[in-house]
Amino acid sequence: MASLSGIFPSNVVVEILAFLPARSLVRFRCVSKSWRSLLSEPYFVTKWLNRSGTSLLVVPLEYENHNQCSLVFENTSVGKKNLNLPLGDKWFSISVIGSSSDGALICLSGLSYKHRRASKQVVILWSPSTGEVKVLPNRGCVHCHRWPVCTQSLIQGYNSACCSQYLVHGFGYEPNARDYKVVRITYSRGGVREADSPIRPSLVEVYSLGRNRWKSLGRPNFTWTVRGNSRAFVNGAAHWLAGPTVEAPYNSIVAFDMKEEKFGEVIELPQSENLTQFSLNPRGKATLSVSCGSLALIAFGIWNREECCIWMMKEYGVATSWTKQHHIVLPIGSTVRAALGLTRHGKLLLRMVDEKLVCCDVANMQISDVGIQGSGIDSSFDVIDLGGADPTVTNQVGRGSLLTMPNFP
């Protein structure tokens, strides 16, 4: 950095680096301490993300196409790539838990049929650049009296009345330990008459890629119901919407700190008067996401499924800092089945009732068709924003595999 500064002004160096691909930036972090510091600065990361195109990984949930997915680039001149998940026929109903910031490591969950009314659910780590897959060990089975009818609900952590157990996951990076971690919460029924007993969180486990093992944390210190894989990893923690019971509306946010490996204090939602027209029913479309590095809440109208609002928590953990950022009214007939989160460029990803994936620009409310179409309600898909890099680019850094190294940058 110092040598280049003698030729170019520092602001020009920053502009040049902001145009480079993620793989080059990883290599340049090793040049010097000053370069490593610069490339880690939030303002530089934001600049780089704004300059680079966003890539979206689209994973189908239906069994027939369980090993095929698509990589869609926000820059339409690049288009779309078709990818094959190297999972064979053993795992199906794949869903995305999370990914690394550069898309080099993707965390999935999947089911495999074991025997009548029971299936095995696992966490899968996948490196698209090398094609490597690591299936994390799991004990026990997920039981459902209506299997395989609600397998898609199970894999996304949404309990139905017939299920005796379901799992929810979170994924994140812990920079101090230079380690990726997965947290898993097991919900199960108990009591003499199991079918009539309430479903409660019974076990929390953490997997460390560096340690290459699961660690049991015992029963969690809360009884709230959370659903779905965490779509909001921010401030070093995975976050879920939470309700006091299975059927009660969401009224708070539960967060798991990856560094401390424990749950923090419950985070409050925006004041109720700001949410009276919007649904927080667990079967609704409310979801958490991340917007400009802050926690964001997406909720749809109670009666009008074509209306939604996005709130952002300006100061992490401070309930009074929730601010309504966008009020979106979609065109008539644009009925949404699910909100899949926000891209790093602030666009809202929606799965429509006709099983199309669309992208809504929250600034001007323009909707664009991404080019992904499911064939029906049973052939839906999951989506995650992988940032600006193409994760399929061959690893040219010369490092070992992300899935076998105990520590990595």
CATH number of the domain that residue 381 is part of? 2.120.10.80
Q: Is the peptide bond before 249 cis (omega within 30 degrees of 0)?
A: no
Question: Does residue 390 lie in a domain region?
Answer: no
Are residues 28 and 133 located together in one domain of the fold? no
Q: How far apart are CA 302 and CA 284, in angstroms?
A: 9
Are residues 117 and 31 located together in one domain of the fold? no
Other CB atoms within 10 A of residue 303 CB = 8
Q: In sequence order, what are the residues at sequence separation of 6 or more whose Cβ sits closer than 8 angstroms to the Cβ of residue 297?
A: 269, 270, 286, 287, 288, 289, 310, 311, 313, 322
Using an 8 Å Cβ cutoff, are 220 and 249 in contact?
no
- Confidence (pTM): 0.80
Are residues 66 and 45 located together in one domain of the fold? no
Helix (H) or strand (E) holding 60: strand 55-60
Are residues 69 and 187 located together in one domain of the fold? yes
Amino acid present at 375: S
Are residues 355 and 329 located together in one domain of the fold? yes
Q: How far apart are CA 239 and CA 294, in angstroms?
A: 12
Are residues 76 and 112 located together in one domain of the fold? yes
Question: What is the total count of domains within the chain?
Answer: 2
Token readout for 146 is 């209506």
Structural domain boundaries, residue 356: 53-385
- Print pLDDT tens along the chain (409 aa): 445 555 666 777 777 777 666 557 767 777 777 777 777 666 666 566 555 556 777 776 555 555 667 777 655 433 567 777 777 767 767 788 998 887 788 898 887 766 666 777 889 998 887 788 898 877 666 666 665 555 555 555 554 556 677 888 999 999 888 899 999 998 887 654 555 677 788 999 999 999 999 999 999 888 888 888 898 999 999 999 998 887 788 999 999 999 999 999 899 999 877 788 888 877 667 899 998 889 999 998 887 778 889 999 999 999 999 999 998 888 877 788 888 888 877 788 888 888 788 888 888 778 888 777 766 554 567 788 876 656 666 544 444 566 754 443 3
137 φ/ψ sector (left φ>0, alpha ψ -120 to 50, else beta): beta
Are residues 197 and 302 located together in one domain of the fold? yes
Question: Does residue 397 lie in a domain region?
Answer: no
Q: How far is CA 329 from the centre of its chain?
A: 25
The tokens 């869609």 sit on which residue? 72
